[in-house]
């Protein structure tokens, strides 16, 4: 039997049972105020009660337990008894936690945060997972609506961008979201009502991605094989080709951060990917987050991994993996020194490809990314005139249209695009086609079967649509990520050794899918 909440918007921390009042009966909800319609509607439904003195206190911050409780009623969450707890909302809080609306570290079941104000970012995450779990938001269009997007932690990108995409959120007058700020009771009512109304429509009604009207290409005849068969790569038009000028497609895996998972970039791990068909491996050398800038010794891990790739006769991408440090100019001098050293080491090695800025973000193409790329390309070209160089673009390497409008001069340059099947769809594919049509060579140096934060899913139908799209355009790719991290984008189950030969039982759902498509 389903157990539902007997009361929803209780204000007193002890559980009470009172008759819902209309907004007109709340003595502090003024007629004509911006929040009056939402409070009126929710009062009629029976979701709200007020204080004993007849007030509602619309400007007061809503607590975590209050917000989760009313969201649970709106979503029809089945409430199960919690472990022994005297807190009035323990049952609903632990039921919501079990349903995956939030994570343990965000609101621990030990109850100490139940009665604390909930942040706007966490409230939106709970709201979207409860009422609109299939909604998604496009980074390119939606992040630009948020003037303080830089203050939003990555774990909240997807729910917040989805909320903007479908109209749950609109931001302040200045375009700010204020992610860490508390949410008022009036704001909570407005958001909950919007989301509950949208919950009555279908995902296709909520979103209207652009239709790709460009001519659909046919895949070019391509060659397979490894470095010994194809030699030094080159770019002809928009196509990656081998030394003989034949179109080639590279497919393989990207490591996770080398500072965290160096064992999965060793000789045995790389050999395992080759046995399953990979002919390229990407080395994600983070610059921040304990990466190269604070730990230069990580360069030795890169060198060892390059050597392992050479021994396995595959191509290898050395990735300057900027992420939280979104402006590539921040560490320009370190990048120049690093790529100068790498070019000196590998100028005669056809295996090596350079990816010079993983995912620039909160920057512009003309102001930061292109000037940075000009400097790094020049540093590499002073030593190695032929190596393939991969260049990122703003908005996590998705602003291909900006690069296509003003690309760098030179040869053997390609531009990266990153996508995650649970987050990105038709709009980004349209952008890829437009960039290709404008003559921009593209390499998909990172993609995943999850959402953009590495979790959620696995989104196999969407991923299949993406891989068919890439195949039709003969685009090379590296999938995220070769590690055993407990997230849905990882290809190995937790605890899998990098040194054993992997069976299908060692692979996650993501791993089985990705490896099955490497040899398509």
Say yes or no to pLDDT of 456 above 60: yes
Check: CB of residue 251 under 8 Å from CB of residue 279: yes
Full domain range(s) for residue 377: 227-250+323-518
Say yes or no to pLDDT of 47 above 50: yes
- Helix (H, G, I), strand (E, B), or coil: what is residue 352? strand
Check: CB of residue 241 under 8 Å from CB of residue 225: no
CA–CA separation, 387 and 234 (whole Å): 8
Q: Mean pLDDT across the stretch 42-64? A: 82
Per-residue pLDDT at 212 = 44
Catalytic one of 66, 158, 187, 359 = 359
Catalytic one of 158, 446, 462, 487 = 446
Per-residue pLDDT at 205 = 33
Say yes or no to pLDDT of 265 above 50: yes
Say yes or no to pLDDT of 4 above 60: no
Query: Do 118 and 232 sit in the same domain of this protein?
Result: no
Say yes or no to pLDDT of 296 above 50: yes
Per DSSP, what are the bridge partners of residue 282?
A: 254, 317
127 lies in some domain? yes
Query: Do 191 and 236 sit in the same domain of this protein?
Result: no
Which of the two residues, 38 and 392, has the higher pLDDT score? 392
CA–CA separation, 86 and 179 (whole Å): 31
Here the CATH number for the domain that contains residue 373 is: 3.20.20.80
Check: CB of residue 177 under 8 Å from CB of residue 169: yes
Query: Do 234 and 110 sit in the same domain of this protein?
Result: no
Indicate the pLDDT class of residue 409, thresholds 50, 70 and 90: very high
CA–CA separation, 459 and 464 (whole Å): 9
Query: Do 97 and 241 sit in the same domain of this protein?
Result: no
Per-residue pLDDT at 223 = 81
Reply yes or no on whether 359 is catalytic: yes
Query: Do 194 and 240 sit in the same domain of this protein?
Result: no
Check: CB of residue 283 under 8 Å from CB of residue 306: yes
Which of the two residues, 12 and 147, has the higher pLDDT score? 147
Say yes or no to pLDDT of 311 above 90: yes
Q: What is the DSSP letter of 285?
A: E
512 lies in some domain? yes
Closest listed residue to residue 481, CA positions, set 319, 342, 306:
319
Say yes or no to pLDDT of 452 above 60: yes
350 lies in some domain? yes
Q: What is the DSSP letter of 265?
A: G
Q: Mean pLDDT across the stretch 180-209? A: 72
Reply yes or no on whether 462 is catalytic: no
Range scoring the smallest mean pLDDT among 219-233, 300-314, 460-474, 493-507: 219-233
Could you check whether the bond before residue 401 is cis, i.e. omega within 30 degrees of 0?
A: no
Query: Do 196 and 242 sit in the same domain of this protein?
Result: no
Closest listed residue to residue 115, CA positions, set 95, 89, 91:
89
Buried-state track 289-327, b at ≥16 Cβ within 10 A, e below 16 = eebbbeeeebbebbbbbbebbbebebbbbbbbbbbebbb
Instruction: Write the pLDDT tens digit of every residue in 483-498.
Output: 999 999 999 999 999 9
CA–CA separation, 261 and 113 (whole Å): 33
Per-chain mean pLDDT for the chain: 88
Its pTM stands at 0.66
Q: What is the DSSP letter of 81?
A: P
Query: How many domains does the chain contain in total?
Result: 2
Maximum Cα–Cα distance across the chain: 83
Closest listed residue to residue 429, CA positions, set 138, 169, 207, 160:
138
Per-residue pLDDT at 215 = 55
Query: Do 177 and 78 sit in the same domain of this protein?
Result: yes
380 lies in some domain? yes
Domain end among 144, 176, 206: 206
Say yes or no to pLDDT of 164 above 50: yes
Residues 6+ apart with CB under 8 A from 493: 484, 505, 506, 507, 508
Per-residue pLDDT at 217 = 67
Per-residue pLDDT at 38 = 83
Instruction: Write the pLDDT tens digit of every residue in 90-119.
Output: 999 989 988 889 887 789 888 889 999 999
Per-residue pLDDT at 16 = 30
Task: Return contacts of 10-13, CB within 8 angstroms, 24+ apart.
Answer: 10/49, 10/66, 10/69, 10/88, 11/49, 11/50, 11/51, 11/57, 11/66, 12/51, 12/52, 13/87, 13/88, 13/115
409 lies in some domain? yes
Say yes or no to pLDDT of 447 above 80: yes
216 lies in some domain? no
Between strands 239-241 and 234-236, the pairing is antiparallel
Domain end among 206, 241, 260: 206
Per-residue pLDDT at 7 = 33
Instruction: Write the pLDDT tens digit of every residue in 345-385.
Output: 999 999 999 999 999 998 999 999 999 999 999 999 999 99
Q: What is the DSSP letter of 178?
A: -
Per-residue pLDDT at 394 = 93
CA–CA separation, 303 and 20 (whole Å): 67
**% of the chain at pLDDT higher than 90:** 65
Check: CB of residue 459 under 8 Å from CB of residue 448: no
Domain end among 154, 175, 206: 206
Query: Do 122 and 234 sit in the same domain of this protein?
Result: no
271 lies in some domain? no
Per-residue pLDDT at 49 = 67
Per-residue pLDDT at 216 = 59
Instruction: Write the pLDDT tens digit of every residue in 412-445.
Output: 999 999 999 998 999 899 999 999 999 999 999 9
Closest listed residue to residue 449, CA positions, set 417, 470, 475, 423:
423
Q: Mean pLDDT across the stretch 286-309? A: 97
Q: Mean pLDDT across the stretch 473-489? A: 97
94 lies in some domain? yes
Query: Do 412 and 513 sit in the same domain of this protein?
Result: yes
Closest listed residue to residue 82, CA positions, set 56, 64, 108:
108
Closest listed residue to residue 434, CA positions, set 464, 473, 462, 466:
473
Backbone CA torsion sign across 229, 234, 238, 244: negative
Q: Mean pLDDT across the stretch 182-198? A: 89
Between strands 352-355 and 280-286, the pairing is unpaired
Query: Do 179 and 240 sit in the same domain of this protein?
Result: no
Instruction: Write the pLDDT tens digit of every residue in 201-240.
Output: 433 333 333 334 455 566 767 887 999 999 999 999 999 9
Closest listed residue to residue 280, CA positions, set 183, 352, 194, 368:
352
């Amino acid at each position: 039997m389903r157990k539902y909440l007997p009361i929803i918007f209780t204000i007193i921390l002890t559980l009470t049972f009172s008759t819902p009042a209309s907004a007109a009966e709340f003595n502090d909800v003024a007629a004509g105020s911006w929040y009056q319609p939402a409070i009126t509607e929710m009062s009629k439904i029976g979701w709200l009660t007020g204080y004993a003195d007849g007030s509602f206190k619309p400007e007061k911050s809503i607590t975590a337990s209050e917000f989760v409780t009313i969201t649970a009623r709106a979503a029809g969450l089945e409430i199960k008894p919690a472990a022994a707890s005297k807190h009035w909302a323990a049952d609903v809080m632990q039921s919501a936690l079990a349903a995956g609306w939030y994570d343990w570290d965000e609101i621990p079941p030990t109850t100490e945060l139940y009665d604390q104000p909930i942040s706007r970012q966490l409230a939106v995450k709970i709201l979207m997972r409860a009422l609109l779990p299939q909604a998604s938001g496009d980074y390119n269009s939606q992040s630009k609506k948020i003037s303080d997007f830089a203050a939003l932690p990555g774990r909240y990108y997807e729910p917040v961008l989805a909320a903007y995409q479908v109209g749950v959120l609109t931001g302040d007058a200045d375009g700010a979201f204020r992610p860490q700020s508390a949410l008022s009771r009036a704001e909570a009512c407005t958001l909950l009502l919007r989301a509950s109304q949208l919950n009555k429509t279908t995902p296709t009604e909520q979103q209207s991605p652009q239709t790709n009207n460009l001519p659909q290409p046919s895949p070019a005849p391509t060659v397979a094989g490894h470095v010994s068969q194809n030699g030094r790569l080159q770019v002809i038009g928009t196509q990656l080709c081998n030394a003989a000028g034949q179109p080639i497609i590279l497919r393989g895996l990207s490591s996770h951060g080398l500072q965290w998972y160096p064992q999965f970039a060793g000789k045995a791990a790389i050999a395992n990917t080759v046995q399953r068909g990979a002919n390229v491996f990407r080395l994600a050398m983070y610059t921040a987050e304990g990466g190269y800038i604070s730990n230069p010794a990580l360069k030795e891990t890169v060198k060892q991994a390059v050597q392992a790739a050479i021994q396995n006769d595959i191509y290898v991408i050395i990735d300057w993996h900027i992420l939280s440090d979104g402006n590539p100019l921040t560490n320009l001098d370190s990048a120049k020194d690093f790529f100068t050293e790498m070019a000196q080491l590998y100028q005669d090695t056809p295996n090596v490809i350079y990816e010079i800025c993983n995912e620039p973000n909160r920057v512009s193409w003309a102001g930061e990314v292109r000037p940075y790329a000009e400097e790094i390309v020049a540093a590499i070209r002073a030593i190695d005139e032929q190596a393939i160089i991969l260049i990122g673009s703003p908005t996590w390497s998705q602003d291909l249209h900006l690069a296509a409008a003003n690309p760098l001069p030179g040869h053997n340059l390609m531009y990266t695009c990153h996508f995650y099947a649970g987050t990105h769809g038709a709009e980004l594919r349209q952008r890829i086609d437009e960039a290709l049509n404008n003559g921009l060579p593209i390499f998909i140096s990172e993609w995943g079967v999850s959402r953009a934060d590495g979790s959620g899913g696995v989104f196999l139908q969407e991923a299949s649509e993406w891989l068919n799209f890439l195949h039709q355009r003969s685009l090379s790719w590296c999938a995220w990520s070769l590690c055993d991290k407990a997230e849905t984008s990882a290809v190995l189950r937790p605890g899998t050794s990098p040194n054993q030969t992997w069976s299908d039982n060692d692979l996650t759902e993501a791993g089985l899918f990705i490896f099955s498509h490497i040899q398509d």
